[in-house]
Amino acid sequence: MISLSLPWKTIVVALVLLHITSSSMKARASLSELDRIALLPGQPQVGFQQYSGYVTVDEKKQRALFYYFAEAEIDPASKPLVLWLNGEANMLYLETPIGVGFSYSTDTSSYEAVNDHITGHYVPQLAELMLQYKEYQFNLKGIALGNPVLEYTTDFNSRAEFFWSHGLISDSTYKMFTSVCNYSRYVSEYYRGSVSPICSRVMSQVSRETSKFVDKYDVTLDVCISSVFSQSKVLLPQQVTEAIDVCVEDEIVNYLNRPDVQKALHARLVGVRQWAVCSNILDYQLLDVEIPTTTIVGKLIKAGIPVLVYSGDQDSVIPLTGSRTLVHRLAEQLGLNTTVPYRVWFEGQQVGGWTQAYGNILSFATIRGASHEAPFSQPERSLVLFKSFLEGRPLPEVF
């Protein structure tokens, strides 16, 4: 386990950002040799170094975050360091918040009040914090937000149009879902413990028509039937039809629960019996989601930090239409002119999605055929977008 020594402060704060670049040498020098992975069961021989283990973030409560770091195969010191929350070398993966995956706290009371950890909130907030603590010289180069909640009314209420346009709900239900009780109203009522009878009826109708056998994070994806029933028991009431596992994830769960794999990863199970995709030990304060973060994103842009907002276009949970609307609105507020008109971009000889850029510092992109977890469903297209962002160049306009 790595304690939070001064060299790790740069890494730890950076971890909470989705995409950042800095000197990989700092990370490499800070990684304990004890965390180096000698052999990962089932993995073919690789030509790069891997590390995994823990970063202690609260010694008193014995709270630690689990990480996995893969170096670039060639000259890792010259490559940008990228954090991924939730591929590519010089990637630093973090299981967050405390209580999910292998990240733990021996003080179980610390699980009772966990703030909202939606990407559109903690990434901009911590990026702003990094700019404030200039003495640490974080060298923040940009952030990318995938299917984020930036302003919950616009983001949540775009769900109705997505459901209707994709044939998941009827005309009459769409009318109720937009004029009688929209989704942002329902969520607000639910987390205040006072769901109105009318909202309850509307949401029951929406849930019945959309079906728990459709993965709301990817409406085109077939589901693993056994996982539909197992996960529906632990998900929050308003999300019963939203987060459905697929069978390939079952294989990952089985792999990460193998004792030899956990030993190789220097991982521990504390307070839980096994590693799981969904955690029901956290109590999220989701009312925090009502606080918009577009103002913070605007501050980052004014400070010269490039921002990319991207959406998997098959995600109905945080649909692309809401994100696109908010990005365009933010560009207008900041006085940013369109520098790349709305157009297609390519991965190979196929359309990878659509994109638009404003002032060469704010951009929006969709990934065609992608889910909420875009790299999971469209890895090649996600990689093209990801590399273009890191290299500071436009998405391919031709093939």
One domain for residues 255 and 332: no
374, part of any domain = yes
One domain for residues 108 and 194: no
One domain for residues 296 and 383: yes
One domain for residues 48 and 26: yes
282, part of any domain = no
Q: Which amino acid is at 189?
A: E
One domain for residues 221 and 270: no
User: What is d(CA 279, CA 283) in angstroms, rounded to the nearest whole number?
Assistant: 10
Count of domains for the chain: 3
- Which of 198, 233, 249 represents a domain boundary (last residue)? 249
24, part of any domain = yes
User: What is d(CA 131, CA 36) in angstroms, rounded to the nearest whole number?
Assistant: 31
351, part of any domain = yes
Token couple for 281: 């030990």
One domain for residues 231 and 267: no
258, part of any domain = yes
CATH code of the domain containing 330: 3.40.50.11320
Residues 307/143, Cβ–Cβ less than 8 Å: yes
pTM here is 0.79
179, part of any domain = yes
One domain for residues 30 and 16: yes
Q: How far is CA 67 from the centre of its chain?
A: 15
One domain for residues 191 and 255: no
Residue 337's domain comprises 289-391
Residues 50/61, Cβ–Cβ less than 8 Å: no
pLDDT in tens, the chain (399 residues): 332 222 222 222 333 333 344 444 444 455 578 899 999 999 999 999 999 999 888 888 888 888 899 898 888 888 777 777 654 445 677 776 667 777 877 765 444 333 333 567 778 887 898 888 876 777 788 889 999 999 999 999 999 999 999 999 999 999 999 999 999 999 999 989 999 999 999 999 999 999 988 989 899 988 776 554 444 444 444 444 444 345 667 788 889 999 999 999 999 888 778 888 766 666 666 677 888 999 999 999 999 999 999 999 999 999 999 999 999 999 999 999 999 999 999 999 999 999 999 998 999 999 999 999 898 889 999 999 999 998 899 999 988
CA angle, 236 then 185 then 290, to 5°:
80
